[in-house]
Amino acid sequence: MFGSVLIANRGEIALRVARTCRELGIRVVAVCSSADRGSAVTRLADETVHIGPPPAQRSYLNMPAILEAALRTNAEAIHPGYGFLSEDADFSDACDRYGLTFVGPPPDVLERIGDKAATRALMAAAGLPILPGSEGVVGFVGDAGEVADDIGYPVMLKAAAGGGGRGMAVVRHPADLRKAYADTRAQAQAVFGDDRIYLERFVERPRHVEVQVLCDSYGEVIHLGERDCSVQRRHQKLVEETPGPALSPELTTRLREAAIHGARAAGLVGAATVEFLVDEDATFAFTEINGRIQVEHPVTEMVTGLDIVREQLSLAAGLPLRLAKGDVQRSGVALECRVNTEDPDRAFVPTPGMLEEFVVPGGPFVRVDTHGFPGWEVTPHYDPLLAKVVVWGTNRDEAVRRMDRALDEFRVRGPQVCTNIPFLRTVLAHPRFRNARHTTSLVEEMLGSHRPSDPHGRRLVGL
């Protein structure tokens, strides 16, 4: 195992990784931008290195600064968390060249799975079901039109280098294709520096189900079960749970087997997820692979009792899997809600500012992963995720009720700060969610059809 690890991230995931390192006796090196001086992880770390001003491109995406920090502090490995550099093949390669261990897949694997169109073709060759679509990227709008005419509308345009729900557009009519094609290419270039896009059939009301896998350097792969991530707004997840509700045992078995097969085909090493769309008729299709830890990993930890960050570190150190398939025991149901500093009454605009009051919920089987504390300044420079509330229950109904209770206890107050907690409670109370009949369209349909009240009867104005 490593003696020291630099955490190339910020916020709750940096604190999450630091805590596991401390438990394992690993020396923690944190990095911070000017906006994050005095953050929770810097207080916990053994050493902190300032890497630049607030903009991410000049700090948390500044590869030379992070590599220099690791070398100067004698770190042996770099844990990238999620986002930022966690899926950057060039960064993984740079770590190798400087004798540092990247906690994640090797560069060639990251490059392979980072190209969504190429990964789609790889999974198809490996026998996983995929949605009808283009064979690789579509370089001209005319080519996209031919594919769309062949498979039928609606279709979805996707950035080949995309991820995180960005670089995607649904096209329902041929007349809209040209503009959507140009807009998606422009967005892909702006966000990912790569304007290549591909096309596949759009599924109207699917479930989004992902399978957590662990893979060692010796070709062994196990799964830790599936997670349902269907509660989304603009392709950004809001509520996740495990096990996937209302999925038949036969379907979950097939999903898990497909995930293991896909992970082997991709050559993954470490913790990863293989993601699928499940249609109303219980057929499923591969969508993408993420070769990093996911925001929603705590729900899997709650039902398995495993520390996925610990497993990541062990696998990155070159150790074989500590667990066999039969060793993983799952119990109960776990839910996670993402608490963001955003205002539902104003189209979910981010609301940075000082946290004057910050009291997290507690009680049996409640976990809160957060970097917030009274006096902390929520910055506008990064994503608005403030906390993840995670609960466990013996069954789904108990877990949902426990989550609602926990969210009701959460107190966040600041002069400008708002959170999405009332909206999350509205989602939890929705009959389709309660009855596990929700799909990825639930939130958008809620926002488009009516202005829901929160559980206390207040109107959520502006939804």
pLDDT at residue 339 tops 60: yes
Catalytic residue among 292, 338, 367, 396: 292
DSSP string, 115-130: SHHHHHHHHHHTT--B
Q: What is the pLDDT of residues 222-279, one digit of tens each?
A: 999 999 999 999 889 999 999 999 999 999 999 999 999 999 999 999 999 999 999 9
pLDDT over 60 at 57, yes or no? yes
| Burial call 248-271: b when 16+ CB within 10 Å, e when fewer | eeebbebbbebbbbbbebbbbbbb
Read off the pLDDT band of 458 (50, 70, 90). Answer: very low
Tell me the average pLDDT of the chain. Answer: 94
**Structural domains present in the chain:** 4-103 (3.40.50.20), 132-201 (3.30.1490.20), 207-449 (3.30.470.20)
Report residue 461's pLDDT band, with 50, 70 and 90 as the boundaries. very low
pTM higher than the cut 0.85: yes
Q: Where are the alpha helices (DSSP H) in 131-248?
A: 141-151, 177-192
Strand partners, 412: 358
Of the candidates 115, 181, 121, the one whose C-alpha atom is nearest the C-alpha of residue 146 is: 181
Does residue 122 register a pLDDT over 50?
yes
Question: Given a cut of 50, is residue 456 above it in pLDDT?
Answer: no
Q: How confident is the model at residue 449 (pLDDT cuts 50, 70, 90)?
A: low
What are phi and psi for residue 41, nearest 5 degrees?
-70, -30
Of 206, 172, 363, 333, the C-alpha closest to 280 is 206
> How confident is the model over 387-405, as a mean pLDDT?
98
Name the amino acid, one letter, at 223: H
Q: What is residue 248's predicted lDDT score, i.e. its pLDDT?
A: 96
**Helix-strand-coil percent breakdown of the chain, rounded to 5?**
35, 25, 35
At 460, the pLDDT band (50, 70, 90 cuts) reads very low
| Residue 301 contacts residue 310 (beta carbons within 8 Å) | no
CB 223 within 8 A of CB 213: yes
For 146-178, write each residue's pLDDT tens digit.
Answer: 999 999 999 999 999 887 678 899 999 999 999
* pLDDT at residue 311 in the model: 98
How many C-beta neighbours within 10 Å does residue 5 have? 27
The answer to whether 292 is a known catalytic residue is: yes
pLDDT at 313: 98
Does residue 5 surpass a pLDDT of 50? yes
Return the pLDDT at 324: 87
d(CA 397, CA 364): 16
Looking at residue 358, what DSSP letter applies?
E
Asked whether the beta carbons of 256 and 223 are under 8 A apart, the reply is yes
With bands split at pLDDT 50, 70 and 90, how would you rate the model's confidence at 325?
Answer: confident
Cα–Cα distance for residue pair 412/420, rounded to 1 Å = 11
